[in-house]
A and B are shown apart, each in its own frame.
Chain A
Amino acid sequence: MMRTSRGDFTLCKRLTGLALLCVLPSWARAAELQVPASVEAGQAFSIPLEGSGQATFYLLGPDHVVKRSVSLGSELPIQSGDVRTAGRYQVIVCGSSCTSAGFEVKAAQPAHLSFFLHPSRVPVSTPGSIDATAFVFDRYFNLVLTPAAVDFQITPASGAGFSRQVSTRHGAAWMRMDSTPHEGRVQVTAVLGNVEEARVIQQVAAEACALRMKAVTSGDMVTLETEPVRDCSGNALPDGTVVSFTKIDKAGKSTVDTPIKKGIARVQFSVRGPAQISVACGVVLGNEVALGGKL
């Protein structure tokens, strides 16, 4: 885009500038400044400076500002370190008057992936429960906006692995998938060329299924013990999961919330006369046991 002097704001100029931006293939032409329309991040280049005498050169980028004296009529080298961040850069050369031009620095080749795998724990056999999102960055951590194919490779704890390829849009690629029926670690690796980023997700048992307990009476004490607590796919609920036992007898209601240990939950009650005992895990109800007849 061309800028020739201060205060040049007219609509005509703006439209001309925009038109030039569209039609010029690779070089933008200012009165004295010729800069590339775009360069790759970290790529050195030079700007020919027309005219004679001394001038002040300014380069203003997203994270970088350069100001130095230059001799007109020579090539002005722009170091690779001056253009590492993607975005619009502005070049201004001031001699007797100021001239400016702009160019765009685009991200270099992909070099980093910011990879989000969500959630980190997921119940088994849940449709659409796993989301993977990858943001592609170059080696200077510029978002790579050029479409690229990210390969999501899924490796479950048991069973065969599989992969899905997704093209990035505005530097991001994402996919969604179901959790598998078996608990355990699932590794998901996002791959783009030589760049790999792995994340792990834990598939855990779902809600308890067919919760059952048995009672063993000894005097006025009753010991209640669940069968191994599993979900509907047969995965054992992790130790520490709370199981609630409720006993109702003449003395009133008694409840104990106890965690599962080694796959089963166990509790002891004292009973006076007939009693009814029930078990639950979360919102899942188990069987009921009646002791000594009806209440």
Chain B
Amino acid sequence: MKWGLVAFLTVATVVLVAIAWLQSGGLKQHAMFAAVTPEEAVQALMSQIQAHNYQRAYASLDRSSDTDLASFTRDMAGSDGSLRTYSSLQTAEVSPLHADRDQALVRVRMNWSSALGSLDDVRDLHVRRDGSVWRVVWPKPAFSAVPPQVVSVNYLRWDVIGRNTSQNWGAQEVDSPKVRITSMNAISRPGRVVILGEVENEDTVPAYLNVNATLLKADGSPIDEEGSFDLISHVLLPKQVSPYRIDFPGVRMDAVKSVRMDARALLVSASADPVIAVSDQALSKDGLDRNVLKGELVNQSGRPVNIAQVLAAYYDDSGKVIWVSDGYVDQALMPQVPVPFAVDIPNDIAGRLKNYRVIVNHYTQASN
């Protein structure tokens, strides 16, 4: 009895631990790190990247890779306070595109969790057989160097002297900027109603802006209230126009009788710097055959821009805004260096759009 119970408890514990190990993917992980297939090699590499083990990830690359550890780390972990530095790899879906005895082409779709939501990065990687294991051939990352130079900056800056709070009611006040919603369009999308359009700062001072919309029923009671959040440029310089989009998930268009729009502008200190040019914009398809608007961003000022957001408004042939989409760029915008971007366009919109307009929002770290 005594030794029987001892043996039972010991064996049962070992068996239970083994079952859980198998359930947790221990075997799969073991096989993955053995890298006996091209997919497993890519999965193992992604697993190291996910764990931020860049040194081990780099060590697992094929020797023919035209990169060094620093470039590889910069490519995956980001640099210069870019959005990639605020991201971590969540998942990596691996699918083989082509394989022969010693070479393979594997597509990896990386999903990054970032400070601004999830980001997709699709890459086609070459994998080579190296004895009994497969190794990824990492392509040389293209980093444009910024030539040393002096960039003179003399853009305007607006500062605000606020009212002294101790002053009486009726003391001299400076008004908030005057903004105007120049267009508004309510459209129905699968599972939601979307309000979109454009808003202009009609004033001669910068405006800090939020646009909210309230959907109303036939009896005037509200259905839902939402704001544009990050689908707008919140800082508008004088005469600047921004598209906006407000999503109402779970609302059906036939329940909506009217929409109350509310554009709230504040007077804030602002700077006209940096100017970001959007060049070579063109409609195209991406690697996953999705419609995208592609182009390049060029930071024309002398300071790096850490994170840029591209906001695009699409118009039909009557000039009405039919869609607004956005995309974050995961590379920092170094001065004068073109950085590519691509924003998704839904298929039905792509077929109807006649024109588009792109503006760029930006975030620059306080320490820059």
- Report if A and B associate in a common complex: yes
A-side contacts of B239, CB under 8 Å: 208, 237, 241-243, 281-282
Question: Is the CB–CB distance between A261 and B204 below 8 Å?
Answer: no
Q: Which of B196-228 contact A (CB under 8 A)?
A: 200, 202-206
Closest to B275 in A: A258
Question: Is the CB–CB distance between A240 and B172 below 8 Å?
Answer: no
The reply on A212 being an interface residue by CB < 8 A is no
Partner of B281 from the list A241, A252, A257 (CB cut-off 8 Å) is A252
Looking at A240, A269, A283, the one whose CB has the most chain B CB atoms below 10 A away is: A240
Write out, one digit per residue, whether chain B residues 327-361 have a CB within 8 A of any chain A CB (1) or not (0). 00000000000000000000000000000111100
The complex places the Cα of A261 from the Cα of B275 at a distance, in Å, of 13
Question: Is the CB–CB distance between B156 and A239 below 8 Å?
Answer: yes
B-side contacts of A258, CB under 8 Å: 275
Partner of A255 from the list B200, B282, B358 (CB cut-off 8 Å) is B358
The reply on A80 being an interface residue by CB < 8 A is no
Question: Is the CB–CB distance between A204 and B170 below 8 Å?
Answer: no
The reply on B237 being an interface residue by CB < 8 A is yes
Partner of B238 from the list A115, A238, A267 (CB cut-off 8 Å) is A238
A-side contacts of B275, CB under 8 Å: 256-259
The reply on B169 being an interface residue by CB < 8 A is yes
A-side contacts of B281, CB under 8 Å: 252-255
- Determine the interface band of chain A, counting residues with CB < 8 A from chain B: 35 or more
The reply on B277 being an interface residue by CB < 8 A is yes
Question: Is the CB–CB distance between B277 and A254 below 8 Å?
Answer: yes
The reply on A2 being an interface residue by CB < 8 A is no
The reply on A120 being an interface residue by CB < 8 A is yes
Write out, one digit per residue, whether chain A residues 249-288 have a CB within 8 A of any chain B CB (1) or not (0). 0011111111101000001011000000000011100000
Tally B residues with Cβ within 8 Å of A.
38
Partner of A241 from the list B173, B178, B204, B279 (CB cut-off 8 Å) is B204
B-side contacts of A267, CB under 8 Å: 277
Question: Is the CB–CB distance between A252 and B240 below 8 Å?
Answer: no
The complex places the Cα of A121 from the Cα of B202 at a distance, in Å, of 11
The complex places the Cα of A188 from the Cα of B344 at a distance, in Å, of 53
Query: Would you give the shortest CB distance from B5 to chain A, in whole angstroms?
Result: 78
Partner of B359 from the list A119, A208, A254, A257 (CB cut-off 8 Å) is A257
Query: Would you give the shortest CB distance from B282 to chain A, in whole angstroms?
Result: 4
The complex places the Cα of A238 from the Cα of B204 at a distance, in Å, of 7
The reply on B158 being an interface residue by CB < 8 A is yes
The reply on A29 being an interface residue by CB < 8 A is no
Question: Is the CB–CB distance between A253 and B172 below 8 Å?
Answer: no
The complex places the Cα of A171 from the Cα of B310 at a distance, in Å, of 53
B-side contacts of A252, CB under 8 Å: 279-282, 295
Question: Is the CB–CB distance between B241 and A118 below 8 Å?
Answer: no
Write out, one digit per residue, whether chain B residues 132-163 have a CB within 8 A of any chain A CB (1) or not (0). 00000000000000000000001110100000
A-side contacts of B358, CB under 8 Å: 255
Closest to B294 in A: A252
The reply on A114 being an interface residue by CB < 8 A is yes
B-side contacts of A120, CB under 8 Å: 172-175
The reply on B269 being an interface residue by CB < 8 A is no
Question: Is the CB–CB distance between B175 and A121 below 8 Å?
Answer: yes
The complex places the Cα of A39 from the Cα of B168 at a distance, in Å, of 27
The reply on A57 being an interface residue by CB < 8 A is no
Question: Is the CB–CB distance between A261 and B241 below 8 Å?
Answer: no
Query: Would you give the shortest CB distance from A185 to chain B, in whole angstroms?
Result: 12
B-side contacts of A241, CB under 8 Å: 204, 237-239
The complex places the Cα of A256 from the Cα of B272 at a distance, in Å, of 13
Q: Which of A230-246 contact B (CB under 8 A)?
A: 237-243
A-side contacts of B357, CB under 8 Å: 255
Question: Is the CB–CB distance between B156 and A256 below 8 Å?
Answer: no
B-side contacts of A283, CB under 8 Å: 182, 200, 241
B-side contacts of A89, CB under 8 Å: none
The complex places the Cα of A270 from the Cα of B238 at a distance, in Å, of 27
Question: Is the CB–CB distance between B295 and A116 below 8 Å?
Answer: no
Looking at A135, A199, A205, A255, the one whose CB has the most chain B CB atoms below 10 A away is: A255
The reply on B278 being an interface residue by CB < 8 A is yes
With A118-B175, A281-B239 in contact, do A251 and B279 touch (Cβ < 8 Å)? Answer: yes
Looking at A242, A251, A258, the one whose CB has the most chain B CB atoms below 10 A away is: A242
Question: Is the CB–CB distance between B170 and A114 below 8 Å?
Answer: yes
The reply on A200 being an interface residue by CB < 8 A is yes
B-side contacts of A261, CB under 8 Å: 154-156
Partner of A253 from the list B203, B241, B282 (CB cut-off 8 Å) is B282
Question: Is the CB–CB distance between A242 and B203 below 8 Å?
Answer: no
With A114-B170, A240-B238 in contact, do A254 and B178 touch (Cβ < 8 Å)? Answer: no
Question: Is the CB–CB distance between B278 and A282 below 8 Å?
Answer: no
The complex places the Cα of A257 from the Cα of B239 at a distance, in Å, of 10
With A121-B205, A240-B272, A252-B295 in contact, do A114 and B174 touch (Cβ < 8 Å)? Answer: no
Q: Which of B251-282 contact A (CB under 8 A)?
A: 272, 275, 277-282
Question: Is the CB–CB distance between B155 and A259 below 8 Å?
Answer: yes
B-side contacts of A199, CB under 8 Å: 172
Closest to B180 in A: A283
The complex places the Cα of A126 from the Cα of B175 at a distance, in Å, of 17
Partner of B158 from the list A121, A240, A281 (CB cut-off 8 Å) is A240
Question: Is the CB–CB distance between B178 and A119 below 8 Å?
Answer: yes
The complex places the Cα of A94 from the Cα of B279 at a distance, in Å, of 88
B-side contacts of A121, CB under 8 Å: 175, 178, 203-205
19 A-B contact pairs sorted by A residue (CB < 8 Å): A119-B175, A121-B203, A135-B170, A237-B204, A238-B204, A240-B156, A240-B237, A241-B239, A253-B281, A253-B282, A253-B295, A254-B278, A254-B280, A256-B300, A257-B359, A259-B275, A261-B155, A269-B279, A281-B239
Given A118-B175, A252-B280; 7 other pairs, CB 8 A cutoff: A208-B239, A241-B237, A252-B295, A255-B277, A257-B275, A267-B277, A283-B241
